[in-house]
A and B are shown apart, each in its own frame.
Chain A
Amino acid sequence: AQSVTQLGSHVSVSEGALVLLRCNYSSSVPPYLFWYVQYPNQGLQLLLKYTSAATLVKGINGFEAEFKKSETSFHLTKPSAHMSDAAEYFCAVSDPGGYQKVTFGIGTKLQVIP
């Protein structure tokens, strides 16, 4: 069974500081990995995805993530936090041979302090 673990349910950063949200995965096969963002009272928006191509993945809004097989990690980063980045972020995994079932982590709520 596939799973993801997000370290830190709440993360606070100052505006302009580095954002680092941690995600480790468990999968018996090379996975597809995703980061989604959810703003209050809204659905999920895909930030970026890893599908076995380049290990450094660039997404929307200046976010990027690096797939590290040796560490089974897929951490999300952004060099400089903006107030508009305050939201909840979900790491997710899917079996590329599966039927598009996506397994989500518990989420990390990002607070940006002015």
Chain B
Amino acid sequence: DAGVTQSPTHLIKTRGQQVTLRCSPKSGHDTVSWYQQALGQGPQFIFQYYEEEERQRGNFPDRFSGHQFPNYSSELNVNALLLGDSALYLCASSFRTGSPDTQYFGPGTRLTVL
């Protein structure tokens, strides 16, 4: 059983560009959450998707947007990249009705903005 997968593994962009990160949840999971982990920091909650809708959002600007597909996979889009967007982006999947302990994290996508 494949766990949470994310692509790409690494990504390098320049300021002002746009980026799309992808996440496939663990088999049977229907909810996807995205987190940003800056160097030396703990992960920060960006938003969560369930039933193809954004259900909850953290303190991130509108430049961060997402999407969930009918097969529960998800994308994170970041527009007008800033140097400060350089971070490890983590995806976590879970059952919607489960408790938070059912969240499984992917290995992350390392984004570098130059």
A61 at the interface (CB under 8 A from B): no
Q: Are B42 and A104 in contact (CB under 8 A)?
A: yes
- The A-contacting residues of B in range 59-114, CB under 8 angstroms, are 90, 92, 94, 98-101, 103, 105-108
Q: Which residue of A lies closest to B48 (CB)?
A: A99
Number of residues of chain A lying within 8 A (CB) of chain B: 25
In this complex, the member of A45, A49, A101, A106 whose beta carbon has the largest number of chain B beta carbons within 10 angstroms is: A101
A32 CA to B103 CA in the complex, in Å?
A: 13
- A74 is an interface residue with CB less than 8 A from chain B: no
Contact of A100 among B4, B33, B40, B108 (CB under 8 A): B33
Q: Mark B32-50, 1 if CB is under 8 A from A, else 0.
A: 0101000011111100101
Contact with B along A36-52 (1 / 0, CB 8 A): 10000111111001010
Question: What sequence of 0s and 1s flags, for each residue 17-50 of chain A, a beta carbon within 8 Å of any chain B beta carbon?
Answer: 0000000000000001010100001111110010
Q: Does B24 contact A (CB under 8 A)?
A: no
Q: Which residues of A are at the interface with B, using a C-beta cutoff of 8 A?
A: 32, 34, 36, 41-46, 49, 51, 90, 92, 94, 96, 98-107
Pick from A41, A101, A103: contact of B56, CB below 8 A.
Answer: A101
In residues 1-51 of chain B, which contact A (Cβ within 8 Å)? 4, 31, 33, 35, 40-45, 48, 50
Residues of A within 8 A of B41 (CB): 106-107
Indicate if the CB atoms of A44 and B45 lie closer than 8 Å: no
A99 surroundings in chain B (CB, below 8 A): 48, 50, 55-56
Q: Is there contact, CB below 8 Å, between B101 and A51? A: yes
Known contacts A43-B105, A43-B106, A107-B41; A102/B100 CB under 8 A: yes
* A45 to B101 CA separation, bound complex (whole angstroms): 11
Q: Which residues of B sit under 8 angstroms from A51, Cβ to Cβ?
A: 99, 101
Assess whether A101 is in contact with B33, with CB atoms less than 8 Å apart.
yes
CA distance A1 to B11 in the complex (A): 33
